[in-house]
Amino acid sequence: MKLVGRYYLYEGGPVSSNVYLIDAKNLTIVDTGIGFNMGGLLREIRSDGFELKKIKFIINTHGHPDHIGGNTRIVRSSGATVMMHKADAKTLDKLSMLPIQIPLPRMLNPKVDNYLGDTGDELDLGGVVLEIIHTPGHSEGSVCLYDREHKVLISGDTAFAYSIGRWDLPGGNLNKLRQSIEKISKLDVEYMLPGHMDYLAGKDKIKESLNYCMRSLSVV
C-alpha cells in the first residue's frame, strides 16, 4: 500500500520484516521479509501497479533472516542488484541462520552484489537519493537509509516506534546501539519507517519516540 510520496509499505507478519518499495526511476525494494509467503507479497506489489522485472535494487538494512528471506525469489524475477553493509554481508552465513523469532528451515543465502559503505555514502535511485547511515548495535552491519529531501528515514531494526532492536544477538552491542540512536535522532525526519510494526509520522512524535528509546537505554 502507498505510504507517502514514492514510498510503499508491505507489512510483515509476526515473523517477517516490513517490506518497503521506493517508486524511484530505479525501482527499489528495502528488505524482502522472511520469504514464507512470497506469492502474497508479490501479488500485493503487482496490484499496486509495479512489474517485478523492473525492480533494480534490493537494499537490506541488515543480514537477519526475517529481512533477507525474499531476496532470492525477487532476484530470480528481476535480476536486481542486492546491497548490504559489508559487516553483515561478510558474516551472512551465521546471521542468516539465526532463529530470530522461530526456528527456520534451511534458507538459501542470497548473493550480495555490492557492499554498502559507511556513513556518508549516497545512493541515487533517480528522483530519490538515500544516504547510508551505518548504525551498528542491533547487528554490526545494520544501516538506516535517509532520504533528506523527503525527510524519510528507513530505520531497519535499529529503532521502532517507541522501541528498539535487540542487542543480544551475535554482532549486537548495546553501546553501539545507543550511539546509533543518538546519531539518527539528530536528523530531520517526518516519516520513520521501521523494520517491524507501525511507522511513525510527524517530526515531534519521532523525536519523542527516539528520546524515549535513549532514556530507556540509559537505564539498562
Q: Give the nearer residue to Zn ion in terms of CB position, either 45 or 68.
A: 68
| The one segment of 24-32, 129-137, 149-157, 175-183 that binds Zn ion by CB under 5 A | 149-157
Q: Which residues, other chains included, contact 136 with Cβ-Cβ below 8 Å and sequence gap of 6+?
A: 87, 142, 171, 173, 176, 177, 180
From the CB of 186, what's the least distance to Zn ion, in Å?
23
Q: Which residues, other chains included, contact 15 with Cβ-Cβ below 8 Å and sequence gap of 6+?
A: 34, 36, 66, 100, 101, 102
Q: Is residue 117 within 8 Å of residue 110, measured between CB atoms? A: no
Q: Give the nearer residue to Zn ion in terms of CB position, either 141 or 206.
A: 141
Q: Give the nearer residue to Zn ion in terms of CB position, either 59 or 128.
A: 59
When asked if residue 64 is in the footprint of Zn ion (CB under 5 A), the reply is yes
When asked if residue 158 is in the footprint of Zn ion (CB under 5 A), the reply is no
Interface with Zn ion: number of residues (CB under 5 A): 5
Q: Give the nearer residue to Zn ion in terms of CB position, either 66 or 140.
A: 66
When asked if residue 157 is in the footprint of Zn ion (CB under 5 A), the reply is yes
From the CB of 60, what's the least distance to Zn ion, in Å?
10
Q: Give the nearer residue to Zn ion in terms of CB position, either 166 or 205.
A: 166
Q: Is residue 35 within 8 Å of residue 106, measured between CB atoms? A: no
Biggest alpha carbon–alpha carbon distance for the chain: 48
Q: Give the nearer residue to Zn ion in terms of CB position, either 105 or 120.
A: 105
Among the listed residues 158, 195, 203, the one whose alpha carbon sits nearest the alpha carbon of residue 178: 158
Among the listed residues 6, 175, 14, 157, the one whose alpha carbon sits nearest the alpha carbon of residue 88: 157
From the CB of 132, what's the least distance to Zn ion, in Å?
17
The 3-state DSSP class for residue 111 equals: coil
Q: Which three cell numbers stand for residue 93?
A: 552465513
When asked if residue 17 is in the footprint of Zn ion (CB under 5 A), the reply is yes
| The one segment of 25-33, 53-61, 62-70, 180-188 that binds Zn ion by CB under 5 A | 62-70
**Interacting residues toward Zn ion by CB under 5 A:** 17, 64, 66, 157, 195
